[in-house]
Structure 1
Amino acid sequence: MEIGPGNGAVTAELYRLGRKLTLVELDETRLDHLEDTYPRAEVRHADILTTRLDRPVIVGNLPFHLTTPILRKLLRSGRWQRAILLTQWEVARKRAGIGGSTMMTAQWTPWFDFRLVTRVPADAFTPKPSVDGGILTIDRCPTGSIPEGARSDYQQFVRSVFTGRGRGMKGILSKMSITDHRTLQSTMDRNDIRGDTLPKDLTPDQWTGLFTELVAETDQTNAKKGKTMRNSKAPKQNPITEAAPQTPVITGEMPIVGAKPATEKLQASIPGTDPKAKSHDKGHLQAERGFMNQHQKPQQPQPRWNLPRR
């Protein structure tokens, strides 16, 4: 299945292989040309984001502005076995984990193998783009390093690490409070992870080792104890039956045992009679008259301007 064949630059080479070919094109003005030029191919007028990917091999020169949505669609579909994609050079490098992987790549590495094949210069495209392209291959692993049932927990773990606060993996994992510091340090040592290593620099095996030893084993231990990481927090108190005792509120003139006297609550300062406010006003008056309250020394008032004497 080819994504967006367009004028057929890649389609011509695929058509020579003699295999069953499906073309998914959104632009209806190019459908007649594709049907006439490649009569043995199946042409579908559809959007790839809403099309069922039911072929074992997916090929496509992806639009640069739709690369991430198409990749998410591919990774969440379960019928294809291999994808050969032409994307931006930097996107292909990051997806392959060269120079630092992205969160999306780390979330799917247990089930897919991302590889960078080669670089395609911008001069090879018509019209010429502003950046080079890169050929990226994605192969589905026969058996994932993490069970399929733990995919959601693993991807949430990777997301929490990438978005967590802290300096390096040790600081981030420490603030996540998954385990004690001694177990965390021993787990990082076994997986050859330094404390200042960034999440983007971890290898697929290191991600798998961290999740298996820190999260999966912790969930199994908590399950035996009757609790999990999601419900291990203390239950919230019932605001009606377990509310903390409060001081009785006086609603009338009848005294209540244990309540404070009403006179203490009714005492309030009257505006203009507060002694502090009066002294404060006095201080302002003294300052205007040339006195400094801090040193209790008089100060001669300074004239605002000097007029010439006649």
Structure 2
Amino acid sequence: MPPVHVSPPSEAAERTTRGTPLPQRPRPPDPRPTQRRFRQGGTRPNRRRRLSQNFLTDPGTARWVVRLSGVTSDDLVVEIGPGDGAVTRFLARTTHRVIAYELDPRLAERLAARYRDPARGVRIVHGDFTRARPPRAPFSVVGNIPYSRTSDIVRWCLEAPGLGSATLVTQLEYARKRTGAYGRWSLVTVLSWPWWSWRLAGRIGRDRFHPVPRVDAGILVLERRAAPLVPPERRAEYRRVVELGFGGVGGSLAASLSRVYPAGRVTAALRSARVPGGAPVGLVHPDQWVEVFRSLAGSGREGARRERRGRTPLT
């Protein structure tokens, strides 16, 4: 079932509610204050366009993003692309352990001056987030990220060992495709599913950004599973099964898997996972992928021994 999209509340409405944001659109923000900040701060909108990032102009939306992240006062947070500090402002009110990576030197300098007091707990780093080493301590990621860097940023997050969750403002279409909104599932989602959940938590209208982008945004939330659906030692084996399935032969999952596994075994695995025999690869839910993998590759110590000995059908 497609996720339900909820628009962020206005500031007045949020002060009177504590639960799920009201499903009503707040009044579009006035872009003029942000335009004045561009002129006064020396960072022009066209420069920001080259960096493929747009400022959030509505405080209620920025607050909503932070609230959806679930960050608490004890959490270490890495913010991606703070820009003019719209999200940083509410992160700093929630926790005193924020590391914000800003690629634009002028914006980084301005934010560093604003948060120069160490007591505020915000450290501004001028640099490319994707080239940074993840913190050793457990941490969360929050950010209104550059759309053109979405894939690189998501990959960094999925590979960071200490990351517990990532709350990212992305293009709405990207978030929809990664969360199965159209009944289809991408390779990156299926590959990471045993260890990460993907959720489209909300939608942000394009009119709440400056410069105004061509499309609306989505709030994508990645959360590490407390109990992995596949043991870590079988990650490589699971990856090979999934990549075989996405090989595209014959258009169906059964046809792709039958290149390596006996047809009867594939049929039994699909039946166990309640996958129709002719189902296209992209229409198979990630939970069904996990079940197919378990059926094909065995379970427990037997499967792990095959992995170590190199006897899996995919080696």
TM > 0.5: yes
- Cα 1:198–1:42 change in 2 (3 A) is same
Per-residue deviation, residues 104-159 of structure 1 (Å, max 9, x unmatched): 01100000011111111111110000111000101100121101111122122212
Sequence identity (%): 31
Q: Distance in 1 between the 2:271 and 2:303 partners? A: 22
Cα contact 1:96–1:115 (8 A) shared by 2 = yes
Q: Distance in 1 between the 2:310 and 2:233 partners? A: 19
Cα contact 1:222–1:229 (8 A) shared by 2 = no
Q: CA deviation at 1:207?
A: 0.7
Counterpart position of 2:105: 28
Counterpart position of 2:24: none
Q: Verify: 1:194 aligned to 2:276, yes or no.
A: yes
TM norm structure 1: 0.69
Q: Distance in 2 between the 1:191 and 1:223 partners? A: 22
Q: CA deviation at 1:227?
A: 6.4
Return the structure number with greater relative CO, CA threshold 8 A, min gap 6: 2
- Cα 1:207–1:230 change in 2 (3 A) is closer
- Cα 1:177–1:32 change in 2 (3 A) is closer
Q: Verify: 1:115 aligned to 2:199, yes or no.
A: yes
Cα contact 1:15–1:38 (8 A) shared by 2 = no
Q: Which amino acid aligns with 1:132?
A: D
Instruction: Look up the SS of the partner of 1:163 in the other structure.
Output: coil
As a proportion of its length, which structure holds more helix?
2
CA RMSD, aligned part only? 2.3
Cα contact 2:185–2:286 (8 A) shared by 1 = no
Q: Verify: 1:57 aligned to 2:140, yes or no.
A: yes
Query: Any unmatched runs of 5+ in structure 1?
Result: 233-310
Residue number among 188, 213, 221 corresponding to 1:137 in the alignment: 221
Q: Distance in 2 between the 1:163 and 1:188 partners? A: 17
Residue number among 256, 279, 289 corresponding to 1:172 in the alignment: 256
How many residues were matched structurally? 229
Q: Distance in 1 between the 2:206 and 2:140 partners? A: 25
Q: Distance in 1 between the 2:299 and 2:113 partners? A: 59
TM norm structure 2: 0.68
Counterpart position of 1:17: 94
Q: Which amino acid aligns with 2:100?
A: L
Per-residue deviation, residues 84-106 of structure 1 (Å, max 9, x unmatched): 00000011011112211210011
Per-residue deviation, residues 168-206 of structure 1 (Å, max 9, x unmatched): 2222222x221x222222221111000121222222221
Instruction: Look up the SS of the partner of 1:57 in the other structure.
Output: strand
Counterpart position of 2:173: 90
Q: Distance in 1 between the 2:312 and 2:91 partners? A: 50
Structure label with greater radius of gyration: 1
Query: Any unmatched runs of 5+ in structure 2?
Result: 1-77
Per-residue deviation, residues 220-261 of structure 1 (Å, max 9, x unmatched): 49949x7613698xxxxxxxxxxxxxxxxxxxxxxxxxxxxx
